[in-house]
Structure 1
Amino acid sequence: MAFTNTFHQFLLFAILLCIGLSSFQSSAISHEPSMVKRHEEWMVQHRRTYKDNVEKERRFQIFQKNVNLIEAHNKKNKSYSLSVNQFADLTDEEFEKMYASAKVPESRHSNSQRTPFKYEGYTSVPASINWVTMGAVTPIRNQGTCGSCWAFAAIATVESLTWIKTGKSYDLSEQQIVDCDRYGKDRGCNGGYADGAYNWIINNRGVTTEASYPYVGYQQYYCYRAQSAVTIKGYQFVPNNSERAMQQAVANQPIAVYVESKGYNFKYYSGGLFTGQCGTATDHVVAVVGYGTTTDGYPYWLIKNSWGTGWGENGYMRMLRNVNDPRGLCGIALYPTYPTN
């Protein structure tokens, strides 16, 4: 009798276990095709192909993990949202190698090439300014998988300075910087310095147009000769650890800044007021092309990125300004620099 009861209990447990496993498998099967379909659609959208099914499966697992991170964030009551963009099948390490390769300016560390801050005495700082709507900023571009953000940010600020000084808009060549600025510390698609790009433009007596030297997304073997369209006389650093000094500078012209971009919050940003999370180990260069205040009273920097219009707010970010840390959010106030003429 005891054996019979034990057997019946075991049989009941086995049946319940099978029902549970069946339910779990059914749930997993119903979920899996949905994510697979999303990945397939994402591949088409971003023209992504893989060498074989093994690689495709590995990328799918990375994609699924990143999608889950993004969706978990968007369920929270945050001031900014994330989206499944072109980086969704990359590991953190791959992203850092391709896109987070900017170098910290050595001249800032050594205090060399220091000149007085041009806008030190500028007190008529407006409450907001937007160089994009004023016409001083060229359209958003995409650096692709080349780690050339430093060239894009430098060129963006030179384009804007030229418009401010002459009223003429020039679409200038990042590719010329990537190909030709190879004898100093800059390393083309493997990272560089915004001030290094300025130095090259000064020494070359100018930079040519995008039409004359179009962007290809990799460092070409040769540096081609091209007629310069625009030049600059020098460059300066904004006093570091001072968002007030940054505001003085941006009130007069867009500037290049270094930020930490490797966190998933930054790389998947799609809109709203960005408030972090991020550290201050800067690895990416962008242009600050304005500042303002949100409708609910929060101050922000308007950032022009070089990751295409599919990232952020059509290629731009609004980042929280005047934070408690003197280094600024994501280290934005550590190494601001701008060209002079």
Structure 2
Amino acid sequence: MPFFFFFSALAAAIGAQRISDAERPELNRDLALWQQKFGSDDDVRVAMASVKPYRDELLRRIRAAKEMLPSLQEANPHATFSHLTKFALLTDEEFARFAMVSARPLPERLSPATRTNPTALGGPVVKAVDWTKQSVCVPPVKTMGKCRSHWAIAAAAVVSSAHCLATGEAIDLSEQQVLSCTTPGGANGCRGGFATTGMKWLVSQPNSVCSRSAIPYVSGASGSVSICSDNSKCAGSISLQVGNVFEASGDDALVEQLQKQPVVAYVTTSNISWRLYAGGVISWCPAGYPDQPGGQAVLVVGYGTQDTGYGSAPIDFFKVRNAWGTNWGEAGDIRLARGDRHRGTCEVTTYLSYPTLQLPAAIRASMTPTTVDARSVDSVVTNDDASDETE
């Protein structure tokens, strides 16, 4: 029996059982803790909108999640899980509806180890990279809320990061603007979309993009997107220094590009590993709930190695920034094991995209070997070189 159906059948069987007097006190304490931490969370409200809040029903859900932990831990020995995560009280179907139901299938899966960027990266491989700690260029963790805006959040974040790494100017571009102005944005923006499309729209508007402070994110509360508004008020406030958008796939391609910048990936999230994840490295990621197409756009912000102890071999991982708020996972992030050189854990290496870094001519002219290290010099595309690129 496939793991997904095993876990689903187990949860259903456990959840249907009556709450005994012996277990009720502990489950009541667990429910009180969960409600105190997540009862007013926007994501939880969205995901549980159709759930009848009968106490015994909630207690059965907590018990079902709790009983799943041993099997889940065995499948993921380097991660930790909890029956008190923000999505723990959801069924598999409810969680899939929140995580994936609006995700669109990717336009075309890239073949393994593919790169559309004609420039070879080369050079030695750095042992570990974490852009969330190495610079101020990665925007903070966001929360989607009622809108399936993962694609716009990822697009705004990766372009913001690229601009900052090229210029030193930290910005946080408006995902609301991407939602409203990118096709298929507008009225359909909350039904999902492609981060690559959002990136290309941003790159095409280098002098007309807005910051998050200028156009705040409001679709998370409303669940809808207004038409693209006049962004003339932002004209000239940000001069984007990013180049063409490229695509890639494969473990090696992701590792090499992460030495230069964060990268957008699409991952499978509608499964129990993500629903009950509390920390550590995920090494087993089931396919997710049936009939859920595509994947969720996320920002891969680094890679590294975790010591597993007890004489076991260390485990390599990718660090991924999600859009489910800081009260999920490791302060909003998750780590996925490396090893599958083609698709990756949760398909993290299957479809990658990123904008190239592009130094302004003035900055390029002032560069000296003492102001920019070799890795930074190799990672940028100058204005003179940009015309030679092809998408």
With the shorter chain as reference, the TM-score category is 0.7 to 0.9
Task: Give matches, 1:78-157, under 5 Å.
Answer: 78-83=77-82, 84-100=84-100, 101-106=102-107, 108=109, 116-135=116-135, 136-157=137-158
SS in 2 for 1:45: helix
Q: Distance in 2 between matches of 1:257 and 1:215?
A: 22
**CA deviation profile, 1:99-142 (whole Å, cap 9, x unmatched):** 224334315569xxx98425524223212211111112122222
Give the drift of 1:184.
6.3
Q: For residue 366 of structure 2, what is the aligned residue in structure 1?
A: none
Give the drift of 1:148.
1.2
Gaps of 5+ in 2: 1-17, 309-313, 359-391
Q: For residue 160 of structure 1, what is the aligned residue in structure 2?
A: 161
Question: TM-score normalized by structure 2?
Answer: 0.70
Give the drift of 1:276.
1.5
Gaps of 5+ in 1: 1-24
Change (3 A) 1:248 1:56: same
Change (3 A) 1:36 1:322: same
Change (3 A) 1:132 1:33: same
Code of the aligned partner of 2:305: T
SS in 2 for 1:28: coil
Q: Distance in 1 between matches of 2:52 and 2:210?
A: 44
Change (3 A) 1:276 1:186: farther
Q: Distance in 1 between matches of 2:273 and 2:198?
A: 28
Change (3 A) 1:339 1:105: farther
Q: Distance in 2 between matches of 1:333 and 1:186?
A: 30
Give the drift of 1:170.
0.7
SS in 2 for 1:339: strand
Q: Distance in 2 between matches of 1:306 and 1:294?
A: 24
Task: Give matches, 1:1-341, under 5 Å.
Answer: 28-48=20-40, 54-57=52-55, 58-70=57-69, 73-74=72-73, 78-83=77-82, 84-100=84-100, 101-106=102-107, 108=109, 116-135=116-135, 136-183=137-184, 187-205=188-206, 206-216=208-218, 217=220, 218-226=223-231, 227=234, 229=238, 231=240, 232-238=242-248, 240=249, 242-279=250-287, 282-296=294-308, 297-323=314-340, 326-340=342-356, 341=358
Give the drift of 1:150.
1.1
Question: TM-score normalized by structure 1?
Answer: 0.80
Q: Is the deviation greater in 194-203 or in 277-286?
A: 277-286
Q: Is the CA contact 1:104–1:193 (under 8 Å) kept in the aligned structure 2?
A: no
Q: Distance in 1 between matches of 2:191 and 2:214?
A: 24
SS in 1 for 2:189: coil
- Kindly tell me the number of residue pairs found equivalent between the two proteins: 311
Q: Is the CA contact 1:186–1:196 (under 8 Å) kept in the aligned structure 2?
A: no
Q: Is the deviation greater in 199-208 or in 135-144?
A: 199-208
**What's the RMSD between the two structures over aligned residues?**
3.2
Give the drift of 1:286.
0.9
Q: For residue 19 of structure 1, what is the aligned residue in structure 2?
A: none
Q: Distance in 1 between matches of 2:274 and 2:346?
A: 9
Report the structure number with the largest CA radius of gyration: 1
Q: Distance in 1 between matches of 2:165 and 2:68?
A: 42
Change (3 A) 1:182 1:54: same
Q: Is the CA contact 1:126–1:251 (under 8 Å) kept in the aligned structure 2?
A: yes
- State the identity %: 27
Change (3 A) 1:260 1:116: closer
Q: Is the CA contact 2:110–2:351 (under 8 Å) kept in the aligned structure 1?
A: no
Code of the aligned partner of 1:303: V
Give the drift of 1:71.
6.0
SS in 2 for 1:30: coil
Q: Is the deviation greater in 175-184 or in 148-157?
A: 175-184
